[in-house]
Chain A
Amino acid sequence: MATFLQQLINGIAQGGMYALIALGYTMVYGIVELINFAHGDVFTLGSFLCIAILALLGVSASGQVIGGWQGALIALLVILLAALLCGVVGVLIERFAYRRLRNAPRLAPLITAIGVSFLLQGVMRNWKGPSEISFPQFLPNPTFSYGGVHIDARELLVVVVSIAMMIALQLFIYNTKLGKAMRASAQDRDAAQLMGINVNSTIAWTFFIGSALAGVAGFISGMYFGTTMFTNGYQAGLKAFTAAVLGGIGNIAGAMLGGFLIGIVEAMTAQYISDQWTNVVVFSILVLILVLRPSGLLGEQLPEKV
């Protein structure tokens, strides 16, 4: 039982990260019907930017631990800056790579997205080199134990940050003017325009928010795993995409649910089958969902897409 609970916690932590990335896929798909394959690389870029920002703040990978308010403040600053910068990158990608192709046949923006993905990977490889780089573990990491189940502060951080982000996103989408504009544009772009909504800027904001969430995921992934690599976003992105499809692509709540489910499935597979089989199991789910229920778990019942 303790093992099961332990894996459940690991799965939730890992799943929160997938969920944050999946939100970006699903929001962009909801509004422009594009699978933004560069999104996973924006997530990696988020990790890279965090390392760079930490370096500017004098925090390196050599192991100082900064506790208390100072540590929390640094973490907050890094998260905000990474989110902001990733958001801007997302907006630029949309502006220069996708906007002109918005009315082109579906395949064109899809291929472009793959091109942007390679572009970002190339930039990151040339920036930090082709091998794994370590992410400064600057926050203290006490472990809490209850009856054989261990939760360390990093896992807690991942879960708390990802859930907080999701709640904020929900509130944003349902309570703000821009959130309403996003939902309206996702449901009927032409009608939204004729109601006075600037669809171009609404789409740009959607990319900003999705990419900013990927930036946050980049931070918590760095804190959680302690390393990153320029190709990281490829697999994390594919798993987050699987999560989005599992929940019902275009559906916000579905992306969150899918993210947590994929994380938990991964953890359980690693525990009860074998570490080597996690990818097989996860991507079999992708295939099965696409074949058996292409609209995903929540796709049909709650199509509140953005």
Chain B
Amino acid sequence: MSAPLLAIEGLTKRFGGLTAVKDLTLNVEAGSIASLIGPNGAGKSTVFNVITGIYTPTAGDVKLDGRSIVGFKPHQVAGTGVMRTFQNIRLFAFMTVLENVMVGDQTRMHATPFDSAFRTPRAQKEERAVTERAMELLDYVGLASYAREWARNLPYGMQRRLEIARALAPQPRLLLLDEPAAGANPTEKRDLMGLVRSIRDRGITIVLIEHDMKLVMGISDRVTVLDYGEKISEGDPQTVRHDPRVIEAYLGKGA
């Protein structure tokens, strides 16, 4: 077995008296789709926030490719190739669809303000390349014809896809998707499954937080179940689906 791309080791996060995540260990293999599920308040989003550097863990370690990223600031974590989407869509509402994706590509732009101000060949070349890449990504998620729209004018489902395109812009190694199917209709969910698979096929490792069980069971290589901040089950979708502890956590004792 190769070393995991993402390794969470003994992670605990406490907020005052509340333990949001307790002693969580989780390995995500490169090139796989891993899902994190659990009832509301189970600590799933906290795990994302720790990985991306918004929260500092109370205890434990988070390693990307064997290197600890604990203590990194959010923009530094992003610089190591970790991108995410948000449970509540957080696009730059007053930028165009294209600009949103171009912001995602920031970390890979090298033109100095001097270059841009005087439109040096270097800046022009880079700008063309960034625009081109952004357009490709918009095409990939099916939003190319909306490039000049303001992001806030897109319907909800398209905003979700735009968030994914923005997160793909810097060619991340690891993509964290926080409830990408929330509010989606069955057709949109099916499209989303196809999109997530195709992103994985591009070589990007995916961690997914999702409530839609059909989606989770349909695309995940591994599923981890959290309840009250603790891992209660882990394995391939079949194993988890039939784990009595999972059924109890979701439906209560005696179900």
Contact = CB atoms under 8 A, between A and B. Distances in A.
Contacts of B38: none
B75 A198 contact: yes
B136 to A, nearest CB: 18
A188 B78 contact: no
A178 B113 contact: yes
A274 B231 CA distance: 76
How big is the A interface, by class?
20 to 34
Contact of B92 (A176, A178, A191): A191
Say whether chain A's binding surface is mostly helix, strand, loop, or mixed: helix
A195 B134 CA distance: 14
Interface string B173-215: 0000000000000000000000000000000000000000000
B116 A192 contact: no
B144 interface: no
Interface stretch (B11-19, B39-47, B98-106, B222-230): B98-106
Interface stretch (A43-51, A138-146, A179-187, A228-236): A179-187
A194 interface: yes
Given A194-B52, A194-B84, A184 B103 contact: yes
A193 B73 CA distance: 8
Contacts of B84: 194
A280 B117 CA distance: 41
Interface in A136-193: 168, 171-172, 175-178, 180-181, 183-184, 187-188, 190-193
A196 interface: yes
A180 B86 contact: no
Interface string A34-54: 000000000000000000000
A187 B78 contact: no
B131 to A, nearest CB: 12
A197 B102 CA distance: 12
A304 interface: yes
A305 interface: yes
A46 B93 CA distance: 36
Contacts of A176: 111, 113, 116-117
Given A180-B103, A180-B106, A196 B116 contact: no
Contacts of B99: 180
Nearest to B52: A194
B170 to A, nearest CB: 6
Given A176-B113, A195-B103, A196-B75, A187 B86 contact: no
A172 B52 contact: no
Contacts of A198: 73, 75
Contacts of B113: 172, 176-178
Contacts of B102: 180
B110 to A, nearest CB: 9
B239 interface: no
Contact of A177 (B111, B166, B170): B111
A294 interface: no
Contact of A193 (B74, B86, B93): B74
B173 to A, nearest CB: 13
Identify which of B52, B91, B103 gathers the most chain A CB atoms within 10 Å of its CB.
B103
A33 to B, nearest CB: 16
B31 interface: no
10 contacts: A180-B95, A184-B92, A184-B95, A187-B95, A193-B75, A194-B77, A195-B103, A196-B75, A196-B79, A305-B94
Interface of B: 52, 54, 73-75, 77-79, 83-84, 86, 90-95, 99, 102-104, 106-107, 109, 111, 113, 116-117, 166-167, 170
Interface of A: 168, 171-172, 175-178, 180-181, 183-184, 187-188, 190-199, 303-305
Given A191-B86, A194-B74, 13 more contacts: A176-B117, A177-B109, A177-B113, A187-B92, A187-B95, A192-B92, A193-B73, A193-B74, A193-B78, A194-B83, A195-B170, A196-B107, A197-B75
